[in-house]
Amino acid sequence: MPDDATNPTPEHGRSAAQAVPTDKAVPTDKAGPADKAGPTDDLVTTRHTLTTPDGALEYTATAGRIVVHEEKHTDGAFDGHRPAIEMFVVSYTADDADPATRPVTFAFNGGPGSSSVWLHMGLLGPRRVLAGDAGAPVPPPYRLVDNAESLLAHSDLVFIDPVSTGYSRPVAGGKPADYHGFTADRDAMAEMIRLWTTRHQRWLSPKFLAGESYGTLRAAALSAHLSRRIGMTLNGLMLISSVLDMGSVRFTEGNDAAYIGYLPTYAAYAHYHGLHGSRSLDEVLAQASELAEHDYPWALARGSRLTAAERADIVARVAAVTGLSTEYVDRANLRIEHQRFFAELLRNRGETVGRLDGRFTGPAADRNAAAADGDVSYSAFQTPYTAAVNHYLQAELGYTSDLPYEILTDRVQPWSYAEFEGRGVSVVSDLDAALRANPFLKVNVALGYFDGATPFAAAENTLARMDLPESLRDNISYVYYPAGHMMYLHEPSRARQSEDLAAFVLGASGT
């Protein structure tokens, strides 16, 4: 349970905390008498100023755990509205803004098992960490700077950590595993969004969801659930490093979709590491996409029915675009699994390439390993973000806790997809339903060419299969960046994406 917060020392023009949370009593399993205290919110409020290209922006930050309740029923009878989760939220609201026209964006990352630190301190929030980049690492101690390009200049921001990430936990006695699954996670996030919107009287504000990675799957599911369950419609979805159909990225027996969706990403990796000579990235991607959309799927489907000449031709073409040897492609039976690709691409240099960001390389621990052991890109930026959020929450926002802030945890595993038993894990139908129910809903899909976790072509293929009328298909826009999964690690991409999202929010808000 969080300790009482102390007033932080003002930094970078930031004022000291204005409110201090109170201690919380240990909750009981059942709704008790009014004189028995349950868990309470422990929010801390601070006020700040951010200098943006449009001038000074005065804003209020509120950080802390909000108690989310669940209705209980026993034998058909209402059994109380009981505390269930203490969910950690950091929100930023512009002072003196009109809530009727001021947009609000609810943001979260993915995993499952990831906190919201990446979008919070890498792209959207008013403060960001200087985490370095591929080929330009930064040593500790790390630095925080104002994010002049923060989306806060155009939208209030609410960063939500799902259960077991960040400081979010079930109430005492609660079972974390109850929330480690598709539906339970979606419903908990929806209730947090409803609660924040109601308490802040923002039902009439333009509303957006920003999700990254698994957070895009969560956002698409939420877009339909919020509309169906509580009647909340959205203005826009920001799907950053999108994956809406898990089959598109899972290398399972009998599923060729992942091999097809990854092929252009492999080509992009090869180009970045100099395996395509002087050819442009656009030229290489055009060749890889043509192959992935036509002859490659045909060859995979033909299997042993390929003639010797046909097989030799497709092996050579796959090797040419991926930067791999024809011998390796032939031994792999044309099917190149991603972790094996990361180990193989630069094997002759003694290096592996990153999964989350293929621009990163590192020495191979075992130069004969069939697959990459770990992710050299994640290892490069995990520590700057971890140090930044742990410092920032206490020293600048005034929130303290003896709990570890879970950046990216495997404690949520195994993640339950029980709702999808017997079928693939996909939320395409949710996004379809949300668009049909609300034809004003806009969708911004942000994709990185060097993203080896959620490859851009797989996302394109998934969305292309949606059976939407042209009038609704035009609601979906695509933006591409020469970067990885967290495209904001690449400074030019961060600056451009900030502009792109600002324009998206303003356009979808009708302002």
* Size of the chain in residues: 511
pLDDT higher than 50, residue 263:
yes
pLDDT digits (tens, 9 = 90+) for 277-290: 999 999 999 999 99
Q: Decide the pairing of beta strands 442-448 and 236-242.
A: parallel
Region 321-343 average pLDDT: 98
Sign of CA dihedral 45, 49, 52, 57: positive
Residue 474: is its pLDDT beyond 60? yes
Domains and CATH numbers, the chain: 44-247+382-509 (3.40.50.1820), 251-377 (no CATH)
DSSP H or E stretch at residue 46? strand 44-52
Segment 238-259 shows an average pLDDT of 97
Q: Is the pLDDT of residue 31 over 60?
A: no
Give the per-residue pLDDT at 418. Answer: 96
- In SS3 terms, 424-481 reads as CCECHHHHHHHHHHCCCCEEEEEEECCCCCCCHHHHHHHHHCCCCCHHHHCCEEEEEE
Residue type, 300: L
170-178, long-range: CB < 8 A, 24+ apart:
170/84, 170/85, 170/86, 171/27, 171/38, 171/39, 171/67, 171/83, 171/84, 171/85, 171/86, 172/1, 172/26, 172/27, 172/39, 173/27, 173/28, 173/29, 174/84, 174/85, 176/411, 176/412
**For all residues of the chain together, what is the average pLDDT?**
92
- Distance (Å, whole) CA 48 – CA 66: 22
Q: What is the pLDDT of residue 143?
A: 96
Mean pLDDT of 215-227: 98
pLDDT at 404 over 70: yes
Phi/psi region, residue 461 (left: phi>0; alpha: psi -120 to 50; beta: rest), is alpha
Q: What is the pLDDT of residue 6?
A: 31
- Structure-token pair, residue 21: 């949370």
pLDDT at 70: 86
pTM of this prediction? 0.91
pLDDT tens digits for range 157-201: 999 999 999 999 999 999 999 999 999 999 999 999 999 999 999
Mean local confidence (pLDDT), 462-483: 96
Q: How far apart are CA 183 and CA 425, in angstroms?
A: 12
What is the rounded average pLDDT of the residues 112-118? 98
Neighbouring CB atoms inside 10 A of 41's CB total 16
Per mean pLDDT, which range of 75-84, 268-277, 324-333, 472-481 is the poorest? 75-84
Give the whole-angstrom CA distance, residue 2 versus residue 24: 9
Give the pLDDT confidence score for residue 49 in this predicted structure. Answer: 97
